[in-house]
Amino acid sequence: MDKILVIADADFDKSVAIKQADKLAKAYDATLHVVYFYYEDLRGLGEKGTAFKQTILDKMEEKANDQLAEVCSNNNCTYEVVWQKNIQNWICDYADKEQPLMVIKTGNRSETMFYTPTDWHLIRECPTPVLIVAEDKWHKTPNILAAVDLQTELADKQALNHKILAQATSIANKLNAKVHVCYTPLFSKLLRDLGVQFKDEIELQAEKNLAAVISKLALQYDIDPQNFHIHAGKPEQVIPSMAAKYHAGVVVIGSVGRKGLSQKFIGNTAENILSFLKTDILAIKP
């Protein structure tokens, strides 16, 4: 039986991730494993620190048990309390060993910092799909938006397109939802201002060039061809706009994590989209 790993909200008064995971576990007939993380620097306290740590863990065990009894309806639900500072490392190791269906975590969004470094690390590094749950959604409807690159000729990106569409249709079938597919051809505002490039021309040309590709994918994944949408622009702006327009509750995207300095200064499309979206976002690795 498939397993879903859930990262519990730090505040016991919130259960956003657990409730969404409980819903998906029912749809997929999967088990849940909920992890509560806590860490505090107790160096220098000696035996008092050890006792203090155990007291905290015991209290969290009690609270976790009470919370899950109240909000989780899945009978196949296990949990543990983990004393860990770098939780993304623990999660990635667990995902690598246990291969859960997905990892679910609430996106800790603020207007100044957007999402926490933990969210970034999971999107870049976690070997299994990561569902970042939005606490305050635009829409409660379950429609699914899949963001793909329909014009790519690279084999690995084409394979990623198929993974995205497979995940999107799987979730849609489980939740009795519709799938919309979004492709965003690049568009330069500078070239538009110079009269060299026009947005509507780019979209019309892409629709013409991609007609056969769309027909094939629509047939393969049983998606209405009318639900394939081509809108030129920046993906981090277009995709959230399409999610709002088509009432998507979940956006499925590919994530190709960068390394080194480019990871710090550039980011990737998945991370940029997170800054704008107020939906659940499922990030798929190649």
Nearest to 3 by CA among 94, 81, 70, 132: 94
**Domain count within the chain:** 2
Same domain? 115 vs 222: no
The per-residue pLDDT for 150 is 92
Q: Within a domain: residue 138? A: no
Q: Within a domain: residue 62? A: yes
Give, in order, the Cα–Cα distances in Å from 111 to each of 152, 274, 283.
34, 12, 22
The per-residue pLDDT for 40 is 85
One-letter amino acid at 233 equals: G
The per-residue pLDDT for 195 is 52
Residues of the chain with pLDDT under 50: 110-115, 193-194, 260-267
Same domain? 266 vs 224: yes
Helix 155-175, helix 16-28: angle, nearest 10:
90
The per-residue pLDDT for 269 is 64
The enclosing domain of 221 has a CATH number of: 3.40.50.12370
The per-residue pLDDT for 140 is 61
Provide the domain limits for residue 278.
143-284
The per-residue pLDDT for 237 is 86
Same domain? 275 vs 197: yes
Beta strands 31-38 and 3-7 are: parallel
The per-residue pLDDT for 111 is 42
Same domain? 172 vs 79: no
